[in-house]
Amino acid sequence: MTRSDTMKILLIAGHGGGDPGAIGCGYKEADLTREVASLVKAKLSNYVTVEVADMSVNWFKNKAKLPLSGVDYVLEVHFNACVNDFNGNGVTTGTEIYVTTAEKGTTVEENIVKGIASLGYKNRGVKRQNWAVINYCKNKGVSSALLETCFIDDADDMRIYTSKKESIADAITNGIVAGFGLKKKTYCLADDCNLLASKGIIGSPDYWAKGEGYSDSNTAILIKNFAAYVRGRENDTK
């Protein structure tokens, strides 16, 4: 059963707010988690409502302020470290994902790491650990997971990441979509017209939503793109 019409997912980019996270192979974890969260949001928004928690904030220190209202699932993005394989040995250290000890099902998480592993990573599986942020979310009644995308200090891992980051974001998205049985959103011009009218950008939303009275199909495309921009701006300021 799909929940696409009502489901809301919160993405959290780990570290930031002055904390770079792990550092390796010329990268900072906080930069990469923000990159992954942005890529996944763009793809997953085709299925459900997706919010990215304010990326200027370190949510480990501010978890009590997380915007969990109406959220059905939280995915916190991280990159692992501890191997110091800066030259590479031809073998990846891999990808893994954590849920809390209170989480019952792990279908979504299994799908995510399986998808990422298919790109060339060792699948380190689904593990249970009450990490601070996901444990806070679960205690608030929201299912949550912490993804260790790959190892930032393994050159083999990072070679795959830098060449396949879009595919990694696809794997994360597809894992969530399959796990929750989501369906792609059907575009509705009327919704975009009502949004722009509510902002005072256009008048007579019913007129524009009919698609009649203007012959240039580019006008409808403009409405769609402008509405997407407005939604993006609203999410950025939350």
Residue 14 has pLDDT above 70, yes or no: yes
Q: Alpha-carbon distance 144 to 133, whole Å?
A: 9
Q: Are strands 95-99 and 23-24 parallel, antiparallel or unpaired?
A: unpaired
Residue 120 has pLDDT above 90, yes or no: yes
pLDDT at 187: 74
Residue 235 has pLDDT above 70, yes or no: no
Confidence at 202, pLDDT banded by 50, 70, 90: confident
CB-based contact 78:34 (threshold 8 Å):
no
Determine the Cα angle at 176 with ends 107 and 147, to 5°.
80
> What are the DSSP calls for the chain, one per residue?
---TTT-EEEEEE-SBTTB---EETTEEHHHHHHHHHHHHHHHHTTTSEEEE--TTS-TTTSGGG---TT--EEEEEEEE----BSS--S----EEEEE-TT----HHHHHHHHHHHTTT--EEEEEE---HHHHHHHHTT-EEEEEEEEETTBHHHHHHHHHHHHHHHHHHHHHHHHHHT--PPPP-HHHHHHHHHHTTS-S-HHHHHHT-S---HHHHHHHHHHHHHHHHHHHHT-
pLDDT at 212: 57
- Note the pLDDT tens digit of each residue in 84-99: 999 999 999 999 999 9
CA 159 to chain centre: 21
Confidence at 1, pLDDT banded by 50, 70, 90: very low
- Note the pLDDT tens digit of each residue in 171-190: 999 999 999 999 998 777 88
Q: Alpha-carbon distance 199 to 213, whole Å?
A: 22
pLDDT at 174: 98
For the entire predicted model, the pTM comes to 0.81
Average pLDDT over residues 133-153: 98
Q: Give the CA-trace dihedral at 126, 131, 133, 137, to 10 degrees.
A: 60
Q: CB 6: neighbour CB atoms within 10 A? A: 10
Average pLDDT over residues 132-154: 98
pLDDT at 138: 98
Residue 213 has pLDDT above 60, yes or no: no
Residue 218 has pLDDT above 90, yes or no: no
Q: Alpha-carbon distance 113 to 102, whole Å?
A: 20
- Note the pLDDT tens digit of each residue in 18-32: 999 999 999 999 999
Token pair belonging to 191? 């919704």
